[in-house]
Structure 1
Amino acid sequence: MSQAKPLSTTTSTARRSTRWLPFVAGIALALLCARLGFWQLDRAALKEAWAHQYQAALDAPPLPLPQAAQARDAAGRRVWVSGRWAPERTVWVDNRTHGGKAGVHVVTPIRRVDGSFVYIDRGWAAIDGARRVLPAPPLQAGEVKVQGVAISPPERSFSLGDASREGRLWSALDEVHLRAAMPAAGYYPLFVQLTDETGDGLIRDWAAPAFGAERSRAYALQWFVFSFMAFALSLWFGLRGRRKHAS
């Protein structure tokens, strides 16, 4: 009959097995952090590609605004729109600031020859706190042709309240507002940020979208630092424990 191993031998074997668990866990953590760092680098490269595509679209010659079925293909492109201004359909987008001052965006549609409307964000204007008077810069009469950047609005923007003055003071420039304001047959799922200088006094300081490539690189650096720290600490404690056990 085989003899049972002494309790001291079993305990020693168990200790040798568990002594490496912190080292293995530390290496696994280091590898995980490194993987997250490379993932952030991949995201940074993707965001850079988006930024190049955005700039290339801005540098391309302006295109005539496509029909509603193709409008989403125009998002981010320079476009031109021809027709007549429809000042009676002007709306104001509230709670917009510039230089620390409160104001609104003045948005007026152009009616195309086919009867459809395209809303043009003409720019920013200051407004008094009571909103007693909404700015109404003059518009050119007759047929016009304007250039701008086609923007695909969000489906619905978050707001604490739905400000309205007879439906003309909007809380946001989103798809819900645009769809409700336009005839169904002439709905464009986008609007245009005006870039032409018309002398109307409105400020058209359109900020480029922040794609965040630099932020992703910063996150990647943090993950690589965590990976190095986890690897170095695991190695140090592993070697220290081995020397201590040997002594």
Structure 2
Amino acid sequence: MKRFRPGVLPTLVVFALLPLLVWLGFWQLGRGEEKRQMLASYAERRASPPVAVDLLPGVADPAYRHVQLRGTFDAEHTVLLDNSTRDGKAGVELIQPFHDQPSGLWLMVNRGWLPWPDRRLPAQFDTPAQRYILDAWVYVAPGATFQLHPDARSERWPKLITALDPAAVWSELHRDGYAHELRLEAGPVAYRTDWPVVAMGPEKHVGYAVQWFAMATALFGLYLYLGFNQTATARHKKNKETPHGDHHESSQHV
């Protein structure tokens, strides 16, 4: 029966890497389940009746809540969210203050993505002056809220930023506004509104988990193979190094 002698160094490597690979696999499975729950919540809340705007600040978990707005845009204080691409083309997301007249609340409304191929020229967009009834949903940024880019603190509008913090905008404008961004549904005043709910779907996380588990299995299989194979190789080498004359002399002596 073969003995298992993998050696100290391979054992240390496997004991260090194997738990990490297994943990990464289960972590990816957990992330995939989080994304599934997020997508289910998104679909459920988007299909639910709209939340009244005046009640919105008191909602504990407003993410993806459907809201119907009635009011006008503020064309003087436009924000352009940079580092946004669609189909490989550079552009920005157009975000403008919106005054909801029934509630009196100010909201930062994202009207969607628009192309901006030549940064030497101003971004081309228009702002409707009339009163509109709009369907939107609440977007809650994951993790900590970023601050405005330092250049956005200038007096010039529109402001080009890399991440939106509505509270910073309201503070600069001296207005009492809602703390989260609202994203428009497709409509007459919206630009391109095909925002991904999640950057990576659940199926990709499952695929990555399978890769991590496959690497763990391969590592453990290689560890077993080397452990048994090195023992057999060492025994074979020892037999080859043993002089034949020693066996002959021993038999003659007996």
TM-score, normalization by structure 1: 0.72
C-alpha displacement at 1:223, in angstroms?
1.7
* 1:166 corresponds to 2:156: yes
C-alpha displacement at 1:97, in angstroms?
4.5
Deviations 1:158-215 (A, max 9, x none): 758437563432414323543324545x3211121111522x4733333333244233
Q: In the alignment, which residue of structure 1 is the partner of 2:232? A: 243
- Residue from 205, 209, 216 that aligns with 1:216: 205
- Identical-residue share of aligned pairs (%): 20
- Residue from 29, 33, 38 that aligns with 1:41: 29
Match runs of 1:8-27 below 5 Å:
20-22=7-9, 24-25=11-12
- Residue from 50, 69, 73 that aligns with 1:62: 50
C-alpha displacement at 1:78, in angstroms?
1.4
C-alpha displacement at 1:105, in angstroms?
0.9
Specify every segment of 5 or more residues in structure 1 that has no aligned partner in the other structure, as ranges. Answer: 1-15
Is the alpha carbon distance of 1:157 and 1:55 closer, same or farther for their aligned partners in structure 2, counting shifts above 3 Å? farther
Distance between the aligned counterparts of 1:103 and 1:35, measured in 2? 38
Distance between the aligned counterparts of 1:97 and 1:132, measured in 2? 17
CA contact (8 A) 2:48 2:66 kept: yes
C-alpha displacement at 1:157, in angstroms?
5.2
CA contact (8 A) 1:62 1:79 kept: yes
Q: In the alignment, which residue of structure 1 is the partner of 2:220? A: 231
Distance between the aligned counterparts of 2:65 and 2:190, measured in 1? 25
Q: In the alignment, which residue of structure 2 is the partner of 1:188? A: 178
- Residue from 180, 184, 194 that aligns with 1:205: 194
Distance between the aligned counterparts of 1:61 and 1:120, measured in 2? 19
CA contact (8 A) 2:110 2:184 kept: yes
CA contact (8 A) 1:76 1:149 kept: yes
Distance between the aligned counterparts of 2:20 and 2:95, measured in 1? 50
Distance between the aligned counterparts of 1:190 and 1:32, measured in 2? 37
- Residue from 61, 85, 98 that aligns with 2:72: 85
C-alpha displacement at 1:44, in angstroms?
1.8
SS of 1:118's partner is strand
C-alpha displacement at 1:31, in angstroms?
4.8
Specify every segment of 5 or more residues in structure 2 that has no aligned partner in the other structure, as ranges. Answer: 237-254
Q: In the alignment, which residue of structure 2 is the partner of 1:5? A: none
Deviations 1:93-137 (A, max 9, x none): 153544515455152412334432122222344556344575323
Distance between the aligned counterparts of 2:85 and 2:14, measured in 1? 50
Q: In the alignment, which residue of structure 1 is the partner of 2:125? A: 135
The two structures, once aligned, show a CA RMSD in angstroms of 3.5
**What is the number of equivalent residue pairs in this alignment?**
227
Is the alpha carbon distance of 1:97 and 1:33 closer, same or farther for their aligned partners in structure 2, counting shifts above 3 Å? closer
Distance between the aligned counterparts of 1:162 and 1:168, measured in 2? 9
SS of 2:152's partner is coil
CA contact (8 A) 2:106 2:177 kept: yes
SS of 2:61's partner is helix
CA contact (8 A) 1:68 1:189 kept: no
TM-score, normalization by structure 2: 0.70
Distance between the aligned counterparts of 2:65 and 2:56, measured in 1? 15
